[in-house]
Structure 1
Amino acid sequence: MKVTQPDPQPYRIFGADRPARFLVTCDHATNRVPADVSGGDLGIGPADMARHIAYDPGAAGLTLALAETLDAPAILSDFSRLVIDPNRGEDDPTLLMKLYDGTIIPGNRQADAAERERRLDGLYRPYHAAYAALAARRPDTVVIAIHSFTPCLRGRAPRPWQVGVLYSHLDDRLSRALIARLEAEPDLCVGDNEPYTGHLPGDAIDRHALRMGRHNTLIELRNDLIADEAAQRDWAARLAPLIRAALDDVTAKGE
């Protein structure tokens, strides 16, 4: 008789006891489809599951390297954004994507309200509960969210930025300070709220930073620049002092 092993927790935490006030997060760390979701297969091929539609390539490795460099804890999701997107509010219509960048997601086409609730209970809510607990470990937590973006969406113009900094109009303090630090680097093309706008009601930053009054920023790296461990570590080494300096800039203003 075949014994089905239970799926692991829908998140991974590293360095929970590290002392820095930063919390480094990765909402789209993996393309894993849990076995109890469509039998572990959403019905799209390996090539599509390796694309940015299923996760943020390179972001997990950058998150781990950056957290280590900052001496900070990290939390990473452990399920594909196509299963359910932890960087969306529970009432967001894109929470379960049925079409993404030209690819139909068969495993989501028949997902009804009951299936949506099951994925919320089994994956999304446990991830956010763990995230909230980790963020609450100290009163001055600073959330650093790591994502990556593809150099070009299908049918769209190439994206020129190497790094983008995203923020909400509700609190752009740390992000604007970080943008200024990055723009001072002579070899970087920096996206100011590019390639996306940085505020979605109910998204992870909204839930865990904006509503709590925590300093925060969301960093997007172009995924071809962080394709291997060496590149991820190089970017972590470059970003860490700029993040620290940006926070110093903000606190020096008494913000």
Structure 2
Amino acid sequence: MADEAPFEIIRGDMGRGLVLLGDHATNRLPPRYGTLGLAESAFSRHIAYDIGVEPLIRGLAKRLNVPAVMSRYSRLLIDPNRGEDDPTLIMKISDGAIIAGNHPLSEAEAEARLEGYHRPYHRAVADTIAEVAQASGSTPLILSLHSFTPAWKGEPRPWHVTVLWDTDARAVLPLLAALREPGDVVVGDNEPYDGALRGDTLYRHCMETGMPHALIEVRQDEIGTPEGVAAWIDRLAPIFERLNARADLHRTERHASRTGPYAA
């Protein structure tokens, strides 16, 4: 039985100039990999996917009538949001869970996962961005959706939502301002991670190409239920709409990364 395509493209109005991305949207694995040696319960944890992001993206794409690209398989197989040379591309252990199916891993199997899952996802992202650019006649705005755990190693995380970025602040600063404006949620800036990650999805498709972008992380307990997802669709959709209406967020503008020179 052949695998499904390692990505899903949600079709929307390509002329609107906005693309949503979901690198870690699902916890599925191709049938041939079983559970990678993990208990089934591992696939309900954050190690397998970004909890709540799939319904959040589907709802936002429908509300805004814009396209989205989501990875179809779990980050435990191979992480779409890592460069091909990143040591965490195929994890052997994640938050205490030993992933037996990833260790030992032959060079041939690592290449097979790159060719079968990682590269097709990134081609789908690039192709969708190119289609939107052509249809809209301008540089697209790219917004990537992720989620993070409410606590890490016993330490609560106070932010309800955060924005990650490298050095291109064009979309980030108005996005942070809009999220903070109601005053009812705690908004993080490059928390709980640094947004400058060489080779990740936004580095590859936006930093290197000069497209305006931002990565939004919502805390998982905020979007762990249908009601929570609906509330965040209501919160984010008008913000994304206002961002997308800005002419200055549809121009190509290169910014040097904090991670060092771009790859050749």
Does the TM-score normalized on the shorter chain lie above 0.5? yes
Superposed, 1:55-134 pairs within 5 Å as 55-134=49-128
Q: Kindly indicate whether the alpha-carbon contact (under 8 Å) linking 2:13 and 2:65 is maintained by their aligned counterparts in 1.
A: no
Matches of 2:172 and 2:196, distance apart in 1: 12
Write the letter of the residue equivalent to 1:22.
L
* TM-score of the aligned structures, taking structure 2 as reference length: 0.88
Residue 224 (1) aligns with residue 218 (2): no
Matches of 2:247 and 2:183, distance apart in 1: 22
Write the letter of the residue equivalent to 2:163.
V
2:159 is matched with 161
Report the count of equivalent residues: 246
State the shift of 1:16 in Å: 4.5
Superposed, 1:45-60 pairs within 5 Å as 45-60=39-54
Write the letter of the residue equivalent to 1:245.
R
Q: Kindly indicate whether the alpha-carbon contact (under 8 Å) linking 1:22 and 1:70 is maintained by their aligned counterparts in 2.
A: no
1:34 is matched with 30
Report the CA distance shift for 1:233/1:19 in structure 2 as closer, same or farther (over 3 A): farther
1:152 is matched with 151
The percentage of aligned residue pairs carrying the same residue is 44
CA RMSD in angstroms comes to: 1.7
Matches of 1:247 and 1:133, distance apart in 2: 20
2:238 is matched with 241
Q: Kindly indicate whether the alpha-carbon contact (under 8 Å) linking 1:174 and 1:247 is maintained by their aligned counterparts in 2.
A: no
State the shift of 1:132 in Å: 0.4
State the shift of 1:228 in Å: 2.5
What per-residue deviation string (whole Å, max 9, x for no partner) do you get for residues 216-243 of structure 1? 0000011111113332122112112122
Instruction: Give the secondary structure class of the aligned counterpart of 1:220.
Output: strand
Matches of 2:147 and 2:225, distance apart in 1: 13
Q: Kindly indicate whether the alpha-carbon contact (under 8 Å) linking 2:53 and 2:145 is maintained by their aligned counterparts in 1.
A: yes
* TM-score of the aligned structures, taking structure 1 as reference length: 0.91
Instruction: Pick which of 95-104 and 228-237 moved more.
Output: 228-237
Q: Kindly indicate whether the alpha-carbon contact (under 8 Å) linking 1:69 and 1:237 is maintained by their aligned counterparts in 2.
A: no
Q: Kindly indicate whether the alpha-carbon contact (under 8 Å) linking 2:6 and 2:73 is maintained by their aligned counterparts in 1.
A: yes
Q: Kindly indicate whether the alpha-carbon contact (under 8 Å) linking 2:180 and 2:187 is maintained by their aligned counterparts in 1.
A: yes
What per-residue deviation string (whole Å, max 9, x for no partner) do you get for residues 178-216 of structure 1? 111111121110010111111111100011111111110
What per-residue deviation string (whole Å, max 9, x for no partner) do you get for residues 63-87 of structure 1? 1111122221011101110100000
Superposed, 1:191-202 pairs within 5 Å as 191-202=188-199
1:251 is matched with 248
Contiguous gaps of at least 5 residues in structure 1: none
2:206 is matched with 209
2:258 is matched with none
State the shift of 1:101 in Å: 1.1
State the shift of 1:19 in Å: 3.1
State the shift of 1:44 in Å: 1.1
